[in-house]
Amino acid sequence: MTGPRDEPLSWPVAASATRFEGRVVSVRSDTVRSPVDGSEFVRDVVVHPGAVAVVAVDDHDRVLVVRQYRHPVGLRPVELPAGLRDVAGEPPHEAAARELYEEGHIEAAEWRVLADLLTSPGMTDEAIRVFLARGIETLPDGDRFAGEHEEADLGVEWVPLDDLVAAVLAGDVQNATLCAGALAARAARDGAGYDALRPVDAPWPAGDWPAGARPARSGG
């Protein structure tokens, strides 16, 4: 079946300069040249290393969610287990499994790609791959990961998938990755089924680079 598809396209960049470098992100100013009328304009780009997230579904059709303080928005929002692609050479699905262990204290035997997201393509190149994980196994308490900073106050709970979708539609949960993941999971469950989802190593055009080594965008 065919349907809408994002179109690869890159306009020429006449000049580029890094304006800020932080712990996780940097900001780059690109002077872009329009191939339509030849005009030039500046666009600021938040450069992001990329991330992964996990919709972990247990045998009771419940989804694992976490809560932790998020300083920029002043909330302790409901989220999926997720994290940056910040371990050099780590494949995306292994990064997702690591985050599921660290935040949820569980492992999963079955993995699929659920959705690929560009969080705000008008201002950042951040790309997130959301995985579906099943075959859940809870780890012994002795293996528990010790978080720090915001993760020291990490809360974990299991929520029925339908209740999570209802919370999305009611506006009670706002994390974009969670909203997309919950809606995609229910669509998959009620459609062709989880087994019809893409394999863990499915192509990821927006994120196909070794972790910790995101390539610079070329100019023209």
CATH code 3.90.79.10 region(s) in the chain: 51-195
Amino acid identity, position 43: R
**Residue range 51-195, CATH number:** 3.90.79.10
Distance (Å, whole) CA 82 – CA 48: 15
pLDDT-derived band of residue 206, with 50, 70 and 90 as boundaries? Answer: confident
Q: What is the pLDDT of residue 148?
A: 62
Mean pLDDT of the chain: 91
* 90 counts as catalytic: no
Neighbours of 201 (CB within 10 A): 11
pLDDT of residue 113 exceeding 60, the answer is yes
pLDDT of residue 208 exceeding 60, the answer is yes
The SS3 assignment for 176 reads helix
Question: Averaged over 121-149, what is the pLDDT?
Answer: 84
Given the residues 94, 137, 151, 157, select the one marked as catalytic: 151
pLDDT-derived band of residue 88, with 50, 70 and 90 as boundaries? Answer: confident
The SS3 assignment for 70 reads strand
Q: What is the pLDDT of residue 135?
A: 98
Distance (Å, whole) CA 203 – CA 177: 20
Residue 6, both tokens: 């994002």
Q: What is the DSSP letter of 167?
A: H
Q: What is the pLDDT of residue 209?
A: 58
pLDDT of residue 216 exceeding 70, the answer is no
pLDDT of residue 15 exceeding 70, the answer is yes
pLDDT of residue 218 exceeding 60, the answer is no
Amino acid identity, position 96: A
